[in-house]
Amino acid sequence: MSQTIETNTADYVFHNVPEQLTPLQAFLDPFTRNELLELGVPAGARCLDLGAGGGSVTRMLSGLAGPRGTVTAIDQDVHMIPGGPNITVHTQDLGSGEPLPVSGPFDIIHARLLTHHLDNRVELVHRLAGELKPGGWLLLGEFVRSKPRVVAAPSEEDAEIFRTVLDGLYDVMTATHTHGDWGHHVETTMMDAGLVNTRTRWHFESFHGGSHGCRLLQNNVAQKRDDIVAHGLPAADVDRFVNVLMTDPRMVVRSHEFISVRGQREA
Ligand SMILES: C[S@@+](CC[C@H](N)C(=O)[O-])C[C@H]1O[C@@H](n2cnc3c(N)ncnc32)[C@H](O)[C@@H]1O
φ, ψ of residue 34 to 5 degrees: the values are -60, -40
Q: How far apart are CA 205 and CA 42, in angstroms?
A: 30
Domain assignment present for residue 13? The answer is no
- Cα separation, 246 vs 164, in Å, equals 14
Mutate to test the pocket of ligand 1, among 12, 28, 219 (most ligand atoms within 8 A of CB): 12
Greatest alpha-carbon span in the chain: 56
Residue 6's pLDDT band, with cuts at 50, 70 and 90, is: very low
Residue 5 lies in a domain: no
Query: What distance in Å separates the CA atoms of residue 77 and residue 51, rounded to the nearest whole number?
Result: 8
Atom of ligand 1 nearest to the CA of 32: 8
Provide mean pLDDT across the span 169-185: 90
Pairing assessment for the beta strands 132-144 and 106-112 based on DSSP bridges: parallel
pLDDT digits (tens, 9 = 90+) for 31-51: 999 999 999 999 999 999 999
Residue 99 placed within a domain: yes
CA 52 remoteness from chain centre: 9
| β-strand partners of 140 | 111, 261
Report yes or no: 253 and 151 within 8 Å, Cβ to Cβ: yes
- In the chain, what percentage of residues exceed pLDDT 70? 97
Amino acid 1: pLDDT: 38
Measure 157 CA to ligand 1 centroid, in angstroms.
34
Query: Looking at the 3D structure of the chain, how many domains does it have?
Result: 1
Instruction: Kindly state whether residue 10 falls inside one of the protein's structural domains.
Output: no
Give ∠ CA 255-256-260 in degrees, rounded to 5.
Answer: 115
- Residues contacting ligand 1 via CB (< 6 Å): 10, 12, 16, 21, 24-25, 51-54, 56, 75-77, 93-95, 112-114, 117-118
Report the separation in Å between the CA atom of 113 and the middle of ligand 1, taken as the mean of its atom positions.
6
Q: Is the dihedral of CA 29, 34, 39, 45 positive or negative?
A: positive
Instruction: Determine the Cα–Cα distance for residues 184 and 200; give it in Å rounded to an integer.
Output: 9
Residue 3 has pLDDT above 70, yes or no: no
Q: Looking at the domain assignment, is residue 242 inside a domain?
A: yes
Whether 2 is covered by a domain: the verdict is no
Q: Which range of residues forms the domain containing residue 185?
A: 18-264
- The 10 Å Cβ neighbour count of residue 93 is 16
Q: Pairing mode, if any, of strands 70-75 and 87-91?
A: parallel
Q: What CATH number does the domain containing 114 carry?
A: 3.40.50.150
Residue 225 lies in a domain: yes
Domain assignment of residue 11, yes or no: no
